Each structure stands twice: as C-alpha cells, then as structure tokens.
A and B are shown apart, each in its own frame.
Chain A
Amino acid sequence: DGGITQSPKYLFRKEGQNVTLSCEQNLNHDAMYWYRQDPGQGLRLIYYSQIVNDFQKGDIAEGYSVSREKKESFPLTVTSAQKNPTAFYLCATAWGGVVQPQHFGDGTRLSIL
C-alpha cells in the first residue's frame, strides 16, 4: 500500500541488540497496529494505538516496545528480551474501530545473525 511505508525491508539483529522497525503513514488514519507473522500461524497482534500518545498491548507484547508521538509514525522496538525475534513484521493502519478494513505496509523481515 503506497500510503504506508515500512523500513527497512530486511533487518538483521545480533544477540543482545535492540532494533527499531519504522512505520510511517500518510493516510491520516487514527489507528495503527503491529503484527508478527510466522509461517503457518497467521498474524498475531503485538501492539496497537488508537490515538496519539496512547497505545495498548496486543496478544504477544513481551519483548517489544512502541511509541506514538505523531499520528503518522508508530515505530516498533524489538528488544533483547525477545528471544525469538525472527519473523515478518507488518504494520497496519485503519480509520479506527474493528469495522474498518486495515491497510498494510509491505513488511520488514527480521533475522538473527
């Protein structure tokens, strides 16, 4: 989706290192989401934010942190506490509420060195 930019496309992490994944949107959507995708497991929600300066934990928040200082940006930090970070990470946005379709970026693939 051209309105959501995730960077970098590929990222490598060393043991004990924190890394930050970027998600920027120009769709003026209020809600932003981070999902983790593993083969055969679908998407699992890490964190979400319905409004600036507020966010909630999803189903697998341990080892991750986020911030929402601007409407356009919702960066995800994968901390050293996340012991199995290798996955495909997807950022999504929506106008708000579960009745609205979510729009997805093209993801960041994180691997362990």
Chain B
Amino acid sequence: AQSVAQPEDQVNVAEGNPLTVKCTYSVSGNPYLFWYVQYPNRGLQFLLKYITGDNLVKGSYGFEAEFNKSQTSFHLKKPSALVSDSALYFCAVGSANTGKLIFGQGTTLQVKP
C-alpha cells in the first residue's frame, strides 16, 4: 500500500532558527517524493523532489530535504526560518506502480518573530 504520514499537525519555530517538518512514507518499489507549500486560499506550490541520486535535495526558497531509505523518511529542512515561511506544508509520494501521488495530511508551520 502507498501512504504518507506527517506526524505533526503543527510546528512552531522562532525566526532565524532551523526548522524541520517530518515525513515518512510507504510505497512498493522506488519512491518519488515531493514537498509542496500552500498559502491560505491558494493552490499548492512545488518546493522540491527526490527521484534518484543524492540523498540531500535542494529546492526553492532555501528549503532542502533529506531522503533516508532505511527510515523511509523525507524530512523538509531549512537552516534559518523566516516569518514568511509560515504556511501549510504537504509531503507526497508517487509510485510508478500506481501512477498516482498520495499526499500527507499536511503540517502547519508557524514562524514567530
């Protein structure tokens, strides 16, 4: 079965501190992993993806994610959070077997000044 878990409904960090938003997945075969961000009443915006290659993936707006095959995780990270990073973040996993993306339930990131 194909599934994604984002164990935290909300993550709170202070501006300037590092942030981590967690994601674990389950999929048959090789995983295709994505992070998206959503601002209120808007669609999702693509941040980064892992298909193959280097386990550390760099994306938009200074975000990066680390693929860990043994822990089946794909955590989103940023060295220094900005207030403007406050939004809803979704992890998604795709499988060539199903041809579909499955999304996690989302994590709200709150960055306080």
Contacts and interface: CB of A to CB of B under 8 A. Distances in A.
Instruction: Tell me if chain B binds chain A.
Output: yes
A43 B46 CA distance: 14
A43 B94 contact: no
Q: How large is the interface on B (under 10, 10 to 19, 20 to 34, 35 or more residues)?
A: 20 to 34
Interface in B56-107: 90, 94-96, 98-101, 103-106
Contact of A98 (B32, B90, B103, B105): B32
Interface stretch (A12-20, A64-72, A104-112): A104-112
A103 interface: yes
Contacts of A92: 43-44
A42 B101 CA distance: 12
Contacts of B44: 43, 90, 92, 102, 104
Contacts of B99: 50, 97-98
A48 interface: yes
Contact of A42 (B34, B43, B45, B105): B105
Contacts of A90: 43-44
Interface of B: 4, 9, 32, 34, 36, 41-46, 49, 51, 90, 94-96, 98-101, 103-106
